[in-house]
């Protein structure tokens, strides 16, 4: 912990704690989703590396004591604030009992209780929980389980998946295969599976005057056509319910999911709902699927599952899927997938404490008030000449920046306008991390109305300077 014990670093002037840690970091670490060269010039065009030593509610505090409002919940993981005392206490308590145990042949009460609790709150019909330790791994599990289900049933010809354009499901090779964000996928395309991509119901693309519902329902025709042609070879359709997050916070109407569930049933393919980003209240309901009154065959959860404390993921599935794997060992039907940290007890305790907060506090009701406030504060941006759309689903809001509004013309990606917003945010104590030209807000649920004001004010000023 020497890195946070500033009293021992007396040789340095107080303002240099950030610089010292940043220099040590950049000499030793290779960061995710980062062109490391961007950090080389911390002045001028460069991007600073910011060492965080403490978190408190919606705030992150760097080594020099500067505070940043975490408008993106640290990659959409945090729900109830950094260093949330209730979740921290649960993890601390578990540390005194059991940090980890092999999860094959052995079990523990936190994992059992968490599975029972997840099945209680999840859409009806889900009856089994398979644990993994991050979002991408959960997607790998769902893809493999679906394929293996059909194989066990004697349909080995089902080898392909259907995904939506603009989708994001993770970075491991299977999850990346069903991802359609060129920035992440294009380089590795030669290594990937060959899914069928179908036009998303993305309402940013709707005709002028068309409602979200009409547009989303219209897009089901493309899915039907794909299933008519390919269903015999398709294991599953995988979607991000209601909001395609990493693809630019593109949103659609729940009616699409209801229709998609019916199509999957009609054509005999599974439906995988990747609620890794949108689960646990982000879209206004505990799970996004609830708004469409559907139960997927596989529900992938991670991120907010532990309140943002620990890596953990879970794939929930049905008894009818489970039963197809349940056989004599020698039949080779078992699902032999495993990760060393499957069902980690510390992570399960963090998750149980997170779910206890949902149980004990009116989280979704409070979020409705916060979401309304966010919508009111963002509304004026809709008229901005460089804003094509302001959209929102629950606690996720996004502002789409464009060079021209009518007709829409994008800013070239190479201009990195979003990066200008990011830097402006950091200068003014707000962590915004636009996705290309989409500035978005996905704050922890403990954000206050005053903090929403501040977050939006800083973003608006950042947008002004970025589009200039
Ligand atoms: N699916 C979705 C919808 C996601 O948003 C993400 C992460 N952004 C993932 C999967 C992958 O999760 P992880 O980063 O934990 O591997």
Q: Whose Cα sits closest to atom 9 in ligand 1?
A: 170
pLDDT of the residue at 27: 96
Task: Mark whether 215 and 347 lie in a shared domain.
Answer: yes
Is residue 18 domain-resident? no
In angstroms, what is the span from residue 32 Cα to ligand 1's centroid?
13
Task: Mark whether 238 and 341 lie in a shared domain.
Answer: yes
Task: Mark whether 371 and 435 lie in a shared domain.
Answer: yes
Q: What is the DSSP letter of 104?
A: S
Look at the chain and report how many structural domains it folds into: 2
> How many other β-carbons are positioned within 10 Å of the β-carbon of residue 455?
24
Q: Can you give the CATH number for the domain in which 416 is found?
A: 3.90.1150.10
pLDDT of the residue at 11: 57
User: Of all atoms in ligand 1, which is nearest to the CA of residue 303?
Assistant: 15
pLDDT of the residue at 332: 93
Task: Mark whether 392 and 335 lie in a shared domain.
Answer: no
Best residue among 32, 73, 135 to mutate for probing ligand 1, ranked by most atoms within 8 Å of CB: 135
Tens of pLDDT along 337-352?
A: 999 999 999 999 999 9
Residues lining ligand 1, Cβ inside 6 A: 134-136, 139, 168-170, 240, 245-246, 274, 276-277, 302
pLDDT of the residue at 223: 98
Is residue 82 domain-resident? no
103: left (phi over 0), alpha (psi -120 to 50) or beta: alpha
Token pair belonging to 65: 């004591």
Task: Mark whether 287 and 171 lie in a shared domain.
Answer: yes
Is residue 149 domain-resident? yes
In angstroms, what is the span from residue 169 Cα to ligand 1's centroid?
6
- Which residues form the domain of 235? 87-360
Q: Which residue has the tokens 């769902």?
A: 142
Q: End of a domain among 360, 375, 394?
A: 360
Tens of pLDDT along 401-411?
A: 999 999 999 99
pLDDT of the residue at 1: 38
In angstroms, what is the span from residue 371 Cα to ligand 1's centroid?
23
Q: Can you give the CATH number for the domain in which 199 is found?
A: 3.40.640.10
Task: Mark whether 313 and 351 lie in a shared domain.
Answer: yes
How many Å apart are CA 33 and CA 195, to the nearest integer? Answer: 24
In angstroms, what is the span from residue 245 Cα to ligand 1's centroid?
9
How many Å apart are CA 176 and CA 159, to the nearest integer? Answer: 16
Counts for the chain of helices (H) and strands (E), in that order:
15, 16
Q: Residue 149 to residues 145, 297, 314, 361: CA-CA distances in angstroms?
A: 6, 11, 18, 39
Token pair belonging to 145: 């389980």
Task: Mark whether 210 and 311 lie in a shared domain.
Answer: yes
Radius of gyration of the chain (CA): 23
Task: Mark whether 244 and 304 lie in a shared domain.
Answer: yes
pTM of the model: 0.96
Task: Mark whether 245 and 351 lie in a shared domain.
Answer: yes
pLDDT of the residue at 369: 98
Render each residue's pLDDT in the chain as its tens digit; 468 residues. 344 445 455 555 556 899 999 999 999 999 999 999 999 865 567 899 999 999 999 999 999 999 999 999 999 999 999 999 999 999 999 999 999 999 999 999 999 999 999 999 999 999 999 999 999 999 999 999 999 999 999 999 999 999 999 999 999 999 999 999 999 999 999 999 999 999 999 999 999 999 999 999 999 999 999 999 999 999 999 999 999 999 999 999 999 999 999 999 999 999 999 999 999 999 999 999 999 999 999 999 999 999 999 999 999 999 999 999 999 999 999 999 999 999 999 999 999 999 999 999 999 999 999 999 999 999 999 999 999 999 999 999 999 999 999 999 999 999 999 999 999 999 999 999 999 999 999 999 999 999 999 999 999 999 999 999
Q: Whose Cα sits closest to atom 1 in ligand 1?
A: 169
Task: Mark whether 352 and 376 lie in a shared domain.
Answer: no
């Amino acid at each position: 912990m020497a890195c946070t014990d500033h009293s021992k670093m007396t040789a340095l002037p107080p303002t240099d704690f950030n610089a010292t840690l940043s220099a040590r970091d950049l000499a030793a670490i290779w960061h995710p989703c980062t062109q490391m060269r961007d950090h080389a010039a911390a002045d001028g065009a460069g991007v600073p590396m910011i060492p965080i030593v403490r978190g408190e509610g919606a705030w992150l505090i760097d080594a020099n004591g500067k505070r940043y409002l975490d408008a993106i919940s640290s990659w959409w993981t945090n729900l109830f604030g950094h260093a949330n005392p209730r979740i921290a206490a649960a993890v601390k308590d578990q540390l005194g009992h059991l940090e980890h145990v092999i999860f094959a042949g052995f079990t523990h009460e936190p994992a059992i209780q968490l599975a029972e609790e997840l099945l209680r709150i999840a859409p009806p019909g889900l009856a089994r929980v398979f644990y993994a330790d991050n979002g991408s791994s959960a997607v790998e599990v769902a893809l493999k389980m679906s394929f293996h289900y059909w194989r066990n049933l004697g349909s080995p010809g089902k080898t392909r998946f259907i995904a939506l354009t603009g989708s994001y499901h993770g970075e491991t090779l299977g999850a990346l295969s069903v991802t359609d964000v060129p920035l992440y996928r294009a380089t590795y395309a030669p290594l990937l599976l060959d899914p069928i991509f179908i036009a998303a119901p993305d309402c940013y693309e709707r005709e002028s005057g068309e409602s979200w519902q009409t547009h989303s329902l219209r897009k089901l025709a493309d899915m039907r056509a794909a299933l008519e042609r390919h269903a015999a070879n398709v294991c599953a359709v995988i979607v991000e319910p209601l909001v395609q997050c990493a693809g630019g916070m593109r949103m659609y109407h729940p009616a699409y999911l209801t229709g998609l569930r019916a199509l999957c049933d009609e054509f005999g393919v599974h439906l995988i709902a990747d609620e890794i980003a949108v689960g646990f209240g982000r879209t206004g309901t505990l799970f996004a699927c609830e708004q469409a009154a559907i139960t997927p065959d596989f529900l992938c959860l991670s991120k907010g599952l532990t309140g943002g404390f620990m890596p953990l993921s879970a794939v929930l599935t049905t008894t009818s899927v489970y039963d197809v794997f349940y056989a004599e060992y020698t039949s080779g039907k078992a699902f032999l997938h495993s990760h060393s940290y499957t069902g980690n007890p510390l992570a399960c305790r963090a998750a149980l404490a997170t779910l206890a907060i949902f149980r004990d506090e009116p989280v979704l009701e409070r979020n409705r008030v916060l979401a309304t406030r966010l919508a009111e504060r963002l509304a004026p941006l809709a008229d901005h000449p460089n804003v094509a759309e302001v959209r929102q689903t629950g606690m996720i809001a996004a502002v789409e920046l464009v060079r021209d509004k009518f007709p829409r013309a994008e800013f070239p990606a190479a201009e990195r306008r979003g990066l200008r917003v990011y830097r402006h945010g950091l200068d003014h104590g707000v962590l915004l991390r636009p996705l290309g030209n989409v500035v978005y807000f996905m704050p922890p649920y403990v954000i206050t109305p005053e903090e929403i004001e501040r977050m939006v004010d800083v973003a608006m000023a950042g947008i002004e300077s970025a589009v200039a």
